[in-house]
Homo-oligomer: A and B are copies of this chain.
Amino acid sequence: MGKGSSGSGAGATERVFAALDGFRIEVPSWGFANTGTRFGKFSQAGAATSLEEKFEDAGQVNKLTGASPSVALHVLWDLPNGKGDVPELKRLEKKYGVKSGAVNPNLFQAQEYKYGSIANPSAEIRKHAVAHLLDSVEIGKALGNKDVSIWLADGSNYPGTQSMLKRIEWLEEALGETHAALGPKQRMLVEYKPFEPAFYHTDIADWGMALNLARKAGPKAKVLVDTGHHLPGCNIEQIVTWLLHLNALGGFHFNDRKFADDDLTLGSIDPYQLFRIFHEILVSDSPAVKGIAYMIDQSHNLKGKMEAMVQSVMTAQELFAKAALVDQAKLAKLQQSCSLVDAEEVFRGAFWTDVRPMVKEWREAHKLPSEPLEALKKGGYMEKINKERGAKNANSGSSYA
Protein backbone atom coordinates (compact mmCIF):
# COMPACT_ATOMS: atom_id res chain seq x y z
CA MET A 1 0.00 0.00 0.00
CA GLY A 2 1.50 3.30 -0.98
CA LYS A 3 1.65 6.00 1.66
CA GLY A 4 -0.71 8.13 -0.34
CA SER A 5 -3.33 5.43 -0.21
CA SER A 6 -6.91 6.47 -0.74
CA GLY A 7 -8.92 7.68 2.13
CA SER A 8 -6.12 9.26 4.05
CA GLY A 9 -6.37 12.59 2.30
CA ALA A 10 -7.86 15.72 3.75
CA GLY A 11 -11.00 15.46 1.65
CA ALA A 12 -11.85 11.96 2.75
CA THR A 13 -14.43 12.89 5.34
CA GLU A 14 -16.02 15.40 3.00
CA ARG A 15 -16.33 12.81 0.30
CA VAL A 16 -17.85 10.32 2.69
CA PHE A 17 -20.28 12.86 4.07
CA ALA A 18 -21.38 13.91 0.61
CA ALA A 19 -21.84 10.29 -0.42
CA LEU A 20 -23.89 9.45 2.66
CA ASP A 21 -25.99 12.56 2.25
CA GLY A 22 -27.09 11.27 -1.13
CA PHE A 23 -27.57 7.63 -0.23
CA ARG A 24 -30.96 6.25 0.71
CA ILE A 25 -31.92 2.60 0.72
CA GLU A 26 -35.46 1.26 0.79
CA VAL A 27 -36.46 -1.53 3.16
CA PRO A 28 -38.95 -4.21 2.16
CA SER A 29 -42.12 -4.70 4.20
CA TRP A 30 -41.59 -8.48 3.96
CA GLY A 31 -38.18 -8.15 5.58
CA PHE A 32 -39.87 -7.71 8.94
CA ALA A 33 -42.10 -10.78 8.61
CA ASN A 34 -41.33 -14.41 9.35
CA THR A 35 -39.67 -16.16 6.47
CA GLY A 36 -38.00 -19.49 5.87
CA THR A 37 -36.85 -22.05 3.39
CA ARG A 38 -38.77 -24.89 1.81
CA PHE A 39 -37.70 -26.95 4.84
CA GLY A 40 -39.53 -24.81 7.33
CA LYS A 41 -39.91 -21.40 8.78
CA PHE A 42 -38.55 -20.27 12.12
CA SER A 43 -40.81 -17.81 13.88
CA GLN A 44 -39.50 -14.79 15.70
CA ALA A 45 -41.43 -13.34 18.59
CA GLY A 46 -41.08 -9.81 17.28
CA ALA A 47 -41.77 -10.48 13.62
CA ALA A 48 -44.32 -8.19 12.03
CA THR A 49 -47.62 -9.75 11.01
CA SER A 50 -49.58 -6.69 9.98
CA LEU A 51 -48.95 -3.79 7.66
CA GLU A 52 -48.92 -1.44 10.62
CA GLU A 53 -46.26 -3.46 12.38
CA LYS A 54 -44.15 -3.41 9.23
CA PHE A 55 -44.39 0.34 9.05
CA GLU A 56 -43.66 0.64 12.72
CA ASP A 57 -40.50 -1.43 12.24
CA ALA A 58 -39.45 0.46 9.15
CA GLY A 59 -39.99 3.72 10.94
CA GLN A 60 -37.76 2.52 13.73
CA VAL A 61 -35.01 1.52 11.30
CA ASN A 62 -35.16 4.93 9.70
CA LYS A 63 -35.14 6.67 13.05
CA LEU A 64 -31.93 4.83 13.92
CA THR A 65 -30.15 5.14 10.59
CA GLY A 66 -31.66 8.16 8.88
CA ALA A 67 -31.08 6.37 5.60
CA SER A 68 -34.16 4.27 4.92
CA PRO A 69 -37.10 6.60 4.49
CA SER A 70 -39.28 4.26 2.41
CA VAL A 71 -40.82 0.81 2.47
CA ALA A 72 -41.26 -1.46 -0.53
CA LEU A 73 -44.75 -2.91 -0.63
CA HIS A 74 -45.98 -6.30 -1.60
CA VAL A 75 -49.42 -6.02 -3.13
CA LEU A 76 -50.76 -9.41 -2.16
CA TRP A 77 -49.54 -9.38 1.41
CA ASP A 78 -49.74 -5.69 2.23
CA LEU A 79 -52.69 -4.48 0.18
CA PRO A 80 -55.16 -7.35 0.15
CA ASN A 81 -57.83 -4.85 -0.90
CA GLY A 82 -55.71 -3.29 -3.59
CA LYS A 83 -56.28 0.40 -4.08
CA GLY A 84 -58.74 0.25 -1.24
CA ASP A 85 -55.85 -0.01 1.17
CA VAL A 86 -54.20 3.18 0.01
CA PRO A 87 -55.84 5.45 2.61
CA GLU A 88 -54.62 3.17 5.39
CA LEU A 89 -51.14 3.27 3.87
CA LYS A 90 -51.18 7.03 3.85
CA ARG A 91 -52.16 7.03 7.49
CA LEU A 92 -49.26 4.73 8.29
CA GLU A 93 -46.83 6.85 6.30
CA LYS A 94 -47.76 9.82 8.39
CA LYS A 95 -47.79 7.97 11.69
CA TYR A 96 -44.42 6.28 11.29
CA GLY A 97 -42.56 8.80 9.19
CA VAL A 98 -41.67 6.52 6.32
CA LYS A 99 -43.04 6.64 2.79
CA SER A 100 -44.42 3.87 0.65
CA GLY A 101 -41.88 2.68 -1.87
CA ALA A 102 -41.90 0.38 -4.86
CA VAL A 103 -45.04 -1.62 -5.51
CA ASN A 104 -44.33 -5.34 -5.90
CA PRO A 105 -47.02 -7.43 -7.59
CA ASN A 106 -47.21 -11.11 -6.67
CA LEU A 107 -47.58 -13.52 -9.54
CA PHE A 108 -46.19 -16.68 -8.01
CA GLN A 109 -48.25 -17.76 -5.07
CA ALA A 110 -51.75 -18.45 -6.31
CA GLN A 111 -52.51 -22.02 -7.36
CA GLU A 112 -53.43 -20.88 -10.86
CA TYR A 113 -49.85 -19.76 -11.44
CA LYS A 114 -48.52 -23.30 -11.17
CA TYR A 115 -47.40 -23.22 -14.81
CA GLY A 116 -46.73 -19.51 -15.00
CA SER A 117 -48.45 -16.16 -14.77
CA ILE A 118 -48.06 -13.78 -17.72
CA ALA A 119 -46.17 -16.53 -19.55
CA ASN A 120 -48.76 -19.20 -18.80
CA PRO A 121 -50.04 -21.06 -21.87
CA SER A 122 -53.58 -20.32 -20.72
CA ALA A 123 -54.83 -17.04 -22.14
CA GLU A 124 -57.26 -16.74 -19.27
CA ILE A 125 -54.59 -17.02 -16.61
CA ARG A 126 -52.38 -14.58 -18.45
CA LYS A 127 -55.28 -12.14 -18.53
CA HIS A 128 -55.79 -12.58 -14.83
CA ALA A 129 -52.09 -11.99 -14.20
CA VAL A 130 -52.05 -8.87 -16.33
CA ALA A 131 -55.03 -7.58 -14.38
CA HIS A 132 -52.95 -7.91 -11.23
CA LEU A 133 -50.14 -5.95 -12.87
CA LEU A 134 -52.56 -3.24 -13.91
CA ASP A 135 -53.94 -3.10 -10.38
CA SER A 136 -50.42 -2.66 -9.14
CA VAL A 137 -49.90 0.22 -11.55
CA GLU A 138 -53.03 1.86 -10.21
CA ILE A 139 -51.90 1.37 -6.64
CA GLY A 140 -48.59 2.94 -7.57
CA LYS A 141 -50.38 5.94 -9.04
CA ALA A 142 -52.57 6.32 -6.00
CA LEU A 143 -49.50 6.27 -3.79
CA GLY A 144 -47.78 8.93 -5.86
CA ASN A 145 -46.26 7.52 -9.03
CA LYS A 146 -44.35 4.69 -7.43
CA ASP A 147 -42.22 2.24 -9.39
CA VAL A 148 -43.87 -1.08 -10.17
CA SER A 149 -41.22 -3.69 -9.56
CA ILE A 150 -41.84 -6.95 -11.36
CA TRP A 151 -40.28 -10.25 -10.47
CA LEU A 152 -41.69 -13.30 -12.20
CA ALA A 153 -41.34 -16.87 -11.02
CA ASP A 154 -42.44 -18.06 -14.46
CA GLY A 155 -40.50 -20.86 -16.02
CA SER A 156 -40.47 -24.63 -16.33
CA ASN A 157 -38.88 -27.55 -14.53
CA TYR A 158 -38.28 -30.06 -17.31
CA PRO A 159 -36.84 -29.80 -20.81
CA GLY A 160 -39.41 -29.88 -23.55
CA THR A 161 -42.41 -29.30 -21.34
CA GLN A 162 -42.98 -25.70 -22.34
CA SER A 163 -42.38 -23.60 -25.44
CA MET A 164 -39.77 -21.08 -24.37
CA LEU A 165 -40.40 -19.19 -27.59
CA LYS A 166 -44.14 -18.69 -27.16
CA ARG A 167 -43.62 -17.63 -23.61
CA ILE A 168 -41.33 -14.83 -24.77
CA GLU A 169 -44.15 -13.52 -26.94
CA TRP A 170 -46.63 -13.72 -24.09
CA LEU A 171 -44.24 -11.83 -21.84
CA GLU A 172 -43.80 -9.11 -24.41
CA GLU A 173 -47.53 -8.74 -24.72
CA ALA A 174 -48.22 -8.52 -21.00
CA LEU A 175 -45.37 -6.17 -20.22
CA GLY A 176 -46.34 -3.96 -23.12
CA GLU A 177 -49.88 -3.72 -21.81
CA THR A 178 -48.63 -2.90 -18.34
CA HIS A 179 -46.26 -0.26 -19.64
CA ALA A 180 -49.08 1.40 -21.52
CA ALA A 181 -50.94 1.90 -18.26
CA LEU A 182 -48.07 3.58 -16.41
CA GLY A 183 -48.53 7.13 -15.27
CA PRO A 184 -46.22 9.80 -16.66
CA LYS A 185 -43.77 9.56 -13.78
CA GLN A 186 -44.11 5.88 -13.07
CA ARG A 187 -41.55 3.29 -14.03
CA MET A 188 -41.69 -0.44 -14.50
CA LEU A 189 -38.68 -2.37 -13.16
CA VAL A 190 -38.04 -5.76 -14.74
CA GLU A 191 -36.11 -8.20 -12.57
CA TYR A 192 -34.30 -11.32 -13.75
CA LYS A 193 -33.21 -14.51 -12.03
CA PRO A 194 -31.51 -17.62 -13.39
CA PHE A 195 -33.43 -20.21 -11.38
CA GLU A 196 -35.73 -20.92 -8.46
CA PRO A 197 -38.54 -21.63 -8.17
CA ALA A 198 -38.27 -22.79 -11.81
CA PHE A 199 -35.49 -25.32 -12.15
CA TYR A 200 -34.99 -25.85 -15.84
CA HIS A 201 -35.76 -22.53 -17.49
CA THR A 202 -36.84 -19.20 -16.01
CA ASP A 203 -38.57 -16.95 -18.49
CA ILE A 204 -36.55 -13.88 -17.51
CA ALA A 205 -33.27 -15.52 -16.68
CA ASP A 206 -30.62 -12.86 -17.14
CA TRP A 207 -30.08 -9.17 -17.73
CA GLY A 208 -30.08 -9.66 -21.50
CA MET A 209 -33.60 -11.02 -21.41
CA ALA A 210 -34.79 -8.40 -18.93
CA LEU A 211 -33.27 -5.65 -21.05
CA ASN A 212 -34.87 -6.84 -24.28
CA LEU A 213 -38.25 -7.13 -22.61
CA ALA A 214 -37.88 -3.69 -21.03
CA ARG A 215 -36.96 -2.11 -24.34
CA LYS A 216 -39.84 -3.80 -26.09
CA ALA A 217 -42.23 -2.61 -23.40
CA GLY A 218 -41.22 1.03 -23.63
CA PRO A 219 -39.03 3.81 -22.30
CA LYS A 220 -40.34 3.71 -18.75
CA ALA A 221 -39.26 0.13 -18.33
CA LYS A 222 -35.87 -0.39 -16.72
CA VAL A 223 -33.91 -3.37 -15.47
CA LEU A 224 -33.70 -4.25 -11.79
CA VAL A 225 -30.58 -6.04 -10.56
CA ASP A 226 -30.99 -8.38 -7.60
CA THR A 227 -27.47 -9.18 -6.47
CA GLY A 228 -28.47 -12.74 -5.57
CA HIS A 229 -29.87 -13.52 -9.01
CA HIS A 230 -26.81 -14.56 -10.97
CA LEU A 231 -24.99 -17.75 -11.83
CA PRO A 232 -21.82 -18.59 -9.89
CA GLY A 233 -18.90 -16.39 -10.88
CA CYS A 234 -20.95 -13.77 -12.68
CA ASN A 235 -19.34 -10.34 -12.68
CA ILE A 236 -22.28 -8.29 -11.48
CA GLU A 237 -20.52 -4.93 -11.47
CA GLN A 238 -19.88 -5.37 -15.19
CA ILE A 239 -23.60 -5.86 -15.80
CA VAL A 240 -24.24 -2.72 -13.77
CA THR A 241 -21.75 -0.87 -15.95
CA TRP A 242 -23.48 -2.06 -19.09
CA LEU A 243 -26.94 -1.15 -17.84
CA LEU A 244 -25.70 2.31 -16.89
CA HIS A 245 -24.05 2.66 -20.28
CA LEU A 246 -27.33 1.74 -21.95
CA ASN A 247 -29.33 4.01 -19.64
CA ALA A 248 -31.34 1.00 -18.62
CA LEU A 249 -30.61 0.49 -14.95
CA GLY A 250 -33.63 1.03 -12.76
CA GLY A 251 -32.57 -0.21 -9.36
CA PHE A 252 -31.23 -2.90 -7.08
CA HIS A 253 -32.42 -5.54 -4.74
CA PHE A 254 -29.49 -6.02 -2.40
CA ASN A 255 -28.70 -9.19 -0.51
CA ASP A 256 -25.77 -11.59 -0.50
CA ARG A 257 -25.16 -15.22 -1.33
CA LYS A 258 -22.58 -17.95 -1.42
CA PHE A 259 -24.42 -20.56 -3.47
CA ALA A 260 -27.82 -19.88 -4.98
CA ASP A 261 -30.31 -17.10 -4.20
CA ASP A 262 -29.49 -17.39 -0.52
CA ASP A 263 -30.98 -14.00 0.38
CA LEU A 264 -28.46 -13.36 3.15
CA THR A 265 -27.89 -9.86 4.48
CA LEU A 266 -26.04 -7.62 2.08
CA GLY A 267 -22.27 -7.63 2.21
CA SER A 268 -22.19 -10.61 4.53
CA ILE A 269 -20.43 -13.01 2.15
CA ASP A 270 -18.66 -10.91 -0.45
CA PRO A 271 -18.41 -7.31 0.75
CA TYR A 272 -15.74 -6.51 -1.84
CA GLN A 273 -18.24 -7.18 -4.60
CA LEU A 274 -20.76 -4.69 -3.28
CA PHE A 275 -17.99 -2.12 -2.94
CA ARG A 276 -17.17 -2.69 -6.61
CA ILE A 277 -20.80 -2.27 -7.63
CA PHE A 278 -20.98 1.03 -5.77
CA HIS A 279 -17.74 2.11 -7.40
CA GLU A 280 -19.15 1.54 -10.89
CA ILE A 281 -22.10 3.74 -10.01
CA LEU A 282 -19.93 6.45 -8.53
CA VAL A 283 -17.68 6.68 -11.60
CA SER A 284 -20.58 6.67 -14.04
CA ASP A 285 -21.98 9.76 -15.68
CA SER A 286 -25.01 7.92 -16.99
CA PRO A 287 -28.33 9.75 -16.68
CA ALA A 288 -29.57 6.50 -15.15
CA VAL A 289 -27.60 7.09 -11.97
CA LYS A 290 -29.96 9.59 -10.46
CA GLY A 291 -32.91 7.23 -10.97
CA ILE A 292 -31.40 4.20 -9.29
CA ALA A 293 -33.69 2.75 -6.65
CA TYR A 294 -31.60 1.11 -3.92
CA MET A 295 -33.61 -1.53 -2.13
CA ILE A 296 -32.92 -4.27 0.36
CA ASP A 297 -34.43 -7.67 -0.40
CA GLN A 298 -33.35 -10.29 2.09
CA SER A 299 -34.77 -13.26 3.93
CA HIS A 300 -33.78 -13.14 7.55
CA ASN A 301 -34.45 -16.71 8.52
CA LEU A 302 -32.11 -16.77 11.44
CA LYS A 303 -30.98 -13.27 12.25
CA GLY A 304 -33.34 -11.08 14.25
CA LYS A 305 -35.47 -9.05 11.85
CA MET A 306 -34.77 -5.64 13.32
CA GLU A 307 -31.10 -6.26 13.98
CA ALA A 308 -30.62 -7.63 10.47
CA MET A 309 -32.26 -4.63 8.88
CA VAL A 310 -30.34 -2.04 10.87
CA GLN A 311 -27.12 -3.94 10.28
CA SER A 312 -27.87 -4.06 6.54
CA VAL A 313 -28.50 -0.36 6.23
CA MET A 314 -25.28 0.32 8.16
CA THR A 315 -23.28 -2.06 6.00
CA ALA A 316 -24.66 -0.51 2.82
CA GLN A 317 -23.66 2.91 4.08
CA GLU A 318 -20.19 1.77 5.03
CA LEU A 319 -19.52 0.08 1.70
CA PHE A 320 -20.89 3.08 -0.15
CA ALA A 321 -18.62 5.29 1.91
CA LYS A 322 -15.63 3.12 1.10
CA ALA A 323 -16.44 3.37 -2.60
CA ALA A 324 -16.65 7.14 -2.23
CA LEU A 325 -13.08 7.13 -0.96
CA VAL A 326 -11.62 5.85 -4.21
CA ASP A 327 -9.48 8.55 -5.74
CA GLN A 328 -11.10 8.44 -9.15
CA ALA A 329 -8.76 10.79 -10.95
CA LYS A 330 -5.69 8.93 -9.76
CA LEU A 331 -7.27 5.61 -10.55
CA ALA A 332 -8.25 6.66 -14.06
CA LYS A 333 -4.64 7.57 -14.82
CA LEU A 334 -3.31 4.29 -13.51
CA GLN A 335 -5.93 2.37 -15.45
CA GLN A 336 -4.98 4.22 -18.59
CA SER A 337 -1.29 3.43 -18.13
CA CYS A 338 -2.08 -0.20 -17.20
CA SER A 339 -0.22 0.19 -13.92
CA LEU A 340 -2.05 -2.79 -12.53
CA VAL A 341 -0.62 -3.11 -9.05
CA ASP A 342 -0.75 0.62 -8.39
CA ALA A 343 -4.28 0.88 -9.70
CA GLU A 344 -5.38 -2.05 -7.58
CA GLU A 345 -3.82 -0.55 -4.47
CA VAL A 346 -5.57 2.76 -5.00
CA PHE A 347 -8.81 0.94 -5.60
CA ARG A 348 -8.74 -1.49 -2.73
CA GLY A 349 -6.91 0.94 -0.49
CA ALA A 350 -10.32 2.56 -0.17
CA PHE A 351 -11.87 -0.79 0.66
CA TRP A 352 -9.28 -1.41 3.38
CA THR A 353 -9.88 1.96 4.97
CA ASP A 354 -11.93 1.67 8.12
CA VAL A 355 -14.77 4.07 7.44
CA ARG A 356 -16.70 3.28 10.57
CA PRO A 357 -15.39 6.32 12.45
CA MET A 358 -16.31 8.59 9.55
CA VAL A 359 -19.79 7.16 9.24
CA LYS A 360 -20.21 7.60 12.97
CA GLU A 361 -19.26 11.26 12.65
CA TRP A 362 -21.78 11.66 9.86
CA ARG A 363 -24.48 10.21 12.09
CA GLU A 364 -23.59 12.50 14.93
CA ALA A 365 -23.61 15.47 12.60
CA HIS A 366 -27.15 14.47 11.66
CA LYS A 367 -28.32 13.97 15.24
CA LEU A 368 -28.61 10.25 14.68
CA PRO A 369 -27.45 7.57 17.13
CA SER A 370 -23.77 7.11 16.50
CA GLU A 371 -24.10 3.33 16.90
CA PRO A 372 -27.51 2.35 15.52
CA LEU A 373 -27.18 -1.35 16.36
CA GLU A 374 -26.24 -0.53 19.95
CA ALA A 375 -29.04 1.99 20.12
CA LEU A 376 -31.50 -0.59 18.84
CA LYS A 377 -30.44 -3.08 21.48
CA LYS A 378 -30.54 -0.58 24.30
CA GLY A 379 -33.59 1.33 23.17
CA GLY A 380 -36.16 -1.21 24.29
CA TYR A 381 -37.87 -1.48 20.92
CA MET A 382 -37.09 -5.14 20.43
CA GLU A 383 -38.30 -6.05 23.89
CA LYS A 384 -41.47 -4.13 23.20
CA ILE A 385 -42.31 -5.88 19.94
CA ASN A 386 -41.25 -9.29 21.22
CA LYS A 387 -43.70 -8.83 24.03
CA GLU A 388 -46.51 -7.31 22.01
CA ARG A 389 -46.27 -9.65 19.07
CA GLY A 390 -45.03 -12.80 20.72
CA ALA A 391 -48.35 -14.49 21.13
CA LYS A 392 -49.39 -13.97 17.54
CA ASN A 393 -46.11 -15.33 16.22
CA ALA A 394 -46.18 -18.35 18.45
CA ASN A 395 -49.22 -19.50 16.53
CA SER A 396 -48.11 -18.22 13.17
CA GLY A 397 -48.66 -20.43 10.20
CA SER A 398 -46.34 -20.58 7.32
CA SER A 399 -47.44 -17.84 5.01
CA TYR A 400 -44.86 -15.28 3.97
CA ALA A 401 -47.33 -12.44 4.39
Measured CB to CB, the residues of A under 8 A from B are 1-3, 5, 35-40, 42-43, 108-109, 111, 114-115, 121, 153, 156-166, 168-169, 194-197, 199-202, 205-209, 211-212, 231-235, 237-239, 241-242, 244-246, 257-260, 262-265, 268-272, 276, 279-280, 283-284, 299, 301-304, 307-308, 311, 314, 318, 326, 331-332, 334-338, 340-341, 343-348, 352-354, 356, 371, 373-374, 397-399
Contacts and interface: CB of A to CB of B under 8 A. Distances in A.
Contacts of A207: 208
A47 to B, nearest CB: 13
Contact of A197 (B39, B205, B245, B336): B39
A225 to B, nearest CB: 12
Contacts of A299: 38
16 contacts: A3-B371, A36-B38, A37-B196, A38-B38, A40-B108, A158-B264, A164-B237, A196-B260, A199-B262, A200-B264, A208-B208, A211-B212, A231-B231, A235-B258, A318-B352, A341-B373
Nearest to A343: B161
Contacts of A272: 159, 269-272
Given A108-B40, A269-B159, A258 B200 contact: yes
Contact of A233 (B36, B232, B374): B232
Give me the 3 closest cross-chain CB pairs, A-B, nearest first.
A160-B347, A208-B208, A199-B262
A143 to B, nearest CB: 25
Contact of A212 (B237, B242, B280): B242
B304 A341 contact: yes
A110 to B, nearest CB: 8
Contacts of A308: 341
Given A39-B153, A341-B303, A233 B231 contact: yes
A43 B263 CA distance: 26
A220 to B, nearest CB: 20
Contacts of A270: 270, 272
Contacts of A200: 235, 258, 264, 269
A252 to B, nearest CB: 17
